[in-house]
Chain A
Amino acid sequence: MKYKVLTIVLTAVFAVPSFLFAQKKNVEEPSLLRQTPFAVKTNILYDEASFVNFSVEAGLGSNWGVQFDAICPWWKDDDNLRVTQMINLGLEGRYYWRGWTDNSRAISGPYVGAMVSGGIYDLCRRSSSKNKYRGFQGDYFFMGGITCGYVWAPSPWWRLEASAGLGAMQTAYTHYDMVENGQYLMLHNEGTYTYFGPTKINFSIAWLFSQCWQQKKKGVWR
């Protein structure tokens, strides 16, 4: 039940910026409409590790961006032994030094930012030392820190991004053992864990699905 409450709250929090920055019309320029640039991304490094993820970034003004991150793998093998299940929702604010004034440079260049995220997880693998399957279920985890990176713009519609983050993470976990050939999860111990260090590594490919500026042609904004 607490997982559901947590996800509802996080989803509601992250949905608000989407509504606020969904559209900003500059009515002062009759032939040129200023749009909020949106980019949808996926972190290839996490994808490779089967941690399916996506992000949506919205550009605010000429230098700022706010990004919503979601990491949501939900895999489980047939034997119920190897499990990768996680819901991680995060929010990151960014400042782009170079800024942008046209579509080709929107959401690009070097940036610094701050991020917070949180979620739940269940990760189970074979323990080579113990020769049995053991796992951790996170009742919650929160993470916060600073990020920096660079966004390349090979075309007006595509971006490549490399970034990393440093910060802290805290989780309350339940350590368990798989018993009876994966039929049951037996409690091993519970605890909390706090960590300081790298919190993010990212190499993303992004697609801008909304232009920074639109021109009015034949009475229609394109």
Chain B
Amino acid sequence: MHIRLAFVALAALCAVSSCEFRRIMTYDEIYLDHMCVVDYDIDWSQLNEAPSGMTIIFYGCDDQKSYSFHTNTVNHFHAVLPDQDYQMICFNQSESEFALLNFSGFDSFYTAEVNMKPDAENLLHDMLNYINGKNDGTRGFNASGSLQPGSLASASFSSVKKGTKPTGVAPMGGGTMQGSTTTGGTTAGGTSRGFNASGSLQPGNLVSNLTIAIHVVGLKYALNVRGTLDGLSAGRSLATKFPSATTVNQSLPNWNIDASDSDDEPGVITTSVGTFGVPVSGSRADGDPDPNILNLVFTMNDYSEVNFTVNLTEEIHEQYEEIFEEEQEREVNGETGQGPNLEINIEVGTETRPSGDPLDDNPDGTDSNGTLILHRTEGSGFHIGVDGWDDEVIHHIEF
């Protein structure tokens, strides 16, 4: 009997001894030793207007998981993450924004990108806007459906490392950030706020402004002009900011016509459009870029149409690649990017009238300077006028 009781007591003793409570830790032990507290101030000054929302995604280097945050608080970000190194992307986005842009590839840091939606979706969106009577565009696009410069910005860190544990500080105080930047954003070393990874971000503009000016002789005979430009990037990487290798034919719907009264002096048509750029050498599959062909259609005052094709490949690539390299260098050095002033200016032709009278000899062509020449159509065509059309008349109707 005593032996049996001894066995029972021993078994109970072993069972009791094997029970251990969960460990209670202090704030420092949890958040400074086991977690990574990130805290950023975000400067959206490179955008035309403050965004209504933003997205921050952290890619864990150890657990290979992504931690995504969508918030309407756009000037400050605070989160607690598992303790590991991260890659990070931050860009302005909210659910109501960018109906015509497609954000994809968020499975990994380097594949995250933004792309313009296919034209069919653009047309559908424009049509719905028209039906609803609110054709005021959507964020990122103007009313005519063109990409708007200064509407989208991103910052990224290829490595967010946890800072050293501050000593002798109260919870939520002290600390530093270590983070090596490759693209976008700047770190604010030496900040007095105390988190494992903290600093300031300044997302850089992703949409360049492409301005095209074409000198045209005989412009006063044109009623309007529309055009398209081939070979522009469909999107841009949110992490590396490289323009995507996929190209689109981007419409150029709005042209400003500055015609000259003289038949001898060329007028100028200008347009400005937002673009994700063109595939640079680092993002192209092969060495030859897709040509940037400008297709112009002039509607003359006799309602005939005159087509022109201008190859702008060399001019656009030369300018854009130079600007892109400068931008990359600035961001690697932690400097502020160019932002909305990321400008590409293309000018075709000259302001001086070519020698001789090419209008007779070379209708609907270009002269040696590249100036476009339209044929004379004065006096022809079909015009409709209604007298008093613009006069305002007020009627009182009684019911």
Closest Cβ of chain B to A14, distance in Å, is 8
Q: Across the interface, name the chain A residue whose C-beta is closest to B27.
A: A186
Q: Does the CB pair B26–A187 fall under 8 Å? A: yes
Chain A residues near B35 (CB, 8 Å)?
180, 184
A19–B6 Cα gap in the complex (Å)? 8
Stretch at the interface among B10-18, B138-146, B257-265: B10-18
Q: Is B24 a contact of A18 with CB atoms below 8 Å?
A: no
* B22 and A87 within 8 A (CB): no
- Cross-chain contact of A15 among B5, B21, B22 (Cβ < 8 A): B5
Contacting pair B5 A174 (CB below 8 A): no
- Asked if residues B22 and A185 are in contact (CB atoms below 8 Å), the reply is yes
Q: How many A residues touch the partner, as a band?
A: 20 to 34
The 7 closest A-B pairs by CB, nearest first: A15-B9, A7-B16, A185-B24, A11-B13, A184-B30, A122-B21, A176-B24
Q: Does B134 contact A (CB under 8 A)?
A: no
A23: chain B residues at CB < 8 Å are 1
Tell me, yes or no, whether B396 is within 8 Å of chain A by CB: no
Asked whether any CB of chain B lies closer than 8 Å to the CB of A8, the reply is yes
| Residues of chain B lying within 8 A (CB to CB) of residue A130 | none
A4 and B17 contact, Cβ closer than 8 Å, known pairs A11-B12, A15-B5: yes
Known: A3-B20, A85-B21. A179 touches B13 (CB 8 A): no
Chain A interfacial positions (CB closer than 8 Å to B): 3-4, 7-8, 11-12, 15, 18-19, 22-23, 70, 72, 74, 80, 83, 85, 87, 120, 122, 137, 174, 176, 179-180, 184-187
A72's closest neighbor in chain B, by CB? B16
Q: Which residues of A contact B27 (CB under 8 A)?
A: 186-187
B386 contacts chain A at the CB level, 8 A cutoff: no
Q: Nearest B residue to A137 by beta-carbon distance?
A: B21
Pick from B5, B9, B22, B30: contact of A83, CB below 8 A. B22
Assembly CA distance A185 to B23 (angstroms): 7
23 contacts between A and B (CB under 8 A): A3-B21, A8-B13, A8-B17, A11-B9, A11-B12, A11-B16, A15-B5, A15-B6, A18-B5, A74-B19, A85-B19, A87-B19, A137-B22, A180-B30, A180-B35, A180-B80, A184-B25, A184-B30, A184-B34, A185-B25, A186-B26, A187-B25, A187-B27
In the complex, A174→B26 CA distance in Å? 12
Which residues of the other chain, B, contact A3 by a CB distance below 8 angstroms?
19-21
Kindly provide the distance from the CB of B356 to the nearest chain A CB, expressed in whole angstroms: 80
Q: How far is the CB of A185 from chain B (nearest CB, A)?
A: 4
- Chain B residue nearest to A4 in the complex (CB): B17
Task: Answer yes or no: B383 CB below 8 A from chain A CBs.
Answer: no
Among A11, A85, A87, the one with the most B-chain Cβ atoms within 10 Å of its Cβ is A11
CB atoms of B16 and A19 under 8 A apart? no
B309-343 with Cβ < 8 A to chain A = none
Residue of A nearest to B26 (CB): A187
With both beta carbons as reference points, the residue of chain A lying nearest to B22 in the complex is identified as: A185
Nearest-neighbour CB distance to chain A for B171, whole angstroms, equals 10
In angstroms, Cα B19 to Cα A122, docked, is: 11
Given the complex of chains A and B, what is the CA–CA distance between A137 and B19 in angstroms?
14
* A181 CB → nearest B CB, Å: 11
Complex alpha-carbon distance, A7 and B19, angstroms? 10
Q: State the CA gap A138–B392 with chains docked (Å).
A: 87
